Amino acid sequence: MDQMRQHLEAGYPNEACGALIGRVAGGDHTVDEFRGMRNTITDRPRDRYALDPLEQLRVQKDAESRGLEIIGFAHSHPDHPAIPSRFDTEHGWSFYSYVVASVREGTLREARSWRLDTSGTFQEEALETTRKA
């Protein structure tokens, strides 16, 4: 969570994004790490994000080499609520978890996790954080 917070706050006032890397077991997604990635949107970076496909492939291959996978993505909503936008809904995939973080005035205020159901609607899922010893 700290890595995600730092990356999303550093991207302010634009949307920042990254991959959630971990495992899926019984439908539950467990995130082991966050990998910050570059937002490739240049014309509307304050309210849109897209990942570089080659960077995403490198992150996926690295995760797989360690027995992990990309299980979702996180991105910030600068000065807006931590709920998926219409753009997010139109570009989401049902397998992944999507953490949307409200970053107001450069500080992460709230993070919520969502998963797209088969009807194309985001449903909120539990977002639990634990500290590693």
Give the model confidence (pLDDT) of 58-74 as tens digits.
Answer: 999 999 999 999 999 99
Give the model confidence (pLDDT) of 24-37 as tens digits.
Answer: 998 889 999 999 99
Q: Sheet containing 17-25: which strands, arranged edge to edge?
A: 28-37, 17-25, 69-78, 97-104, 107-116, 122-125
Q: What structural domains and CATH numbers belong to the chain?
A: 2-125 (3.40.140.10)
According to the model, what pLDDT value does residue 36 have? 98
Contact status, residue 33 vs residue 1, Cβ threshold 8 Å: no
pTM here is 0.93
Give the model confidence (pLDDT) of 74-114 as tens digits.
Answer: 999 999 999 999 999 999 999 999 999 999 999 999 999 99
Tell me the mean pLDDT in the region 50-61: 97
User: Which residues lie below 8 Å from residue 128, measured CB to CB, with a gap of 6+?
Assistant: none
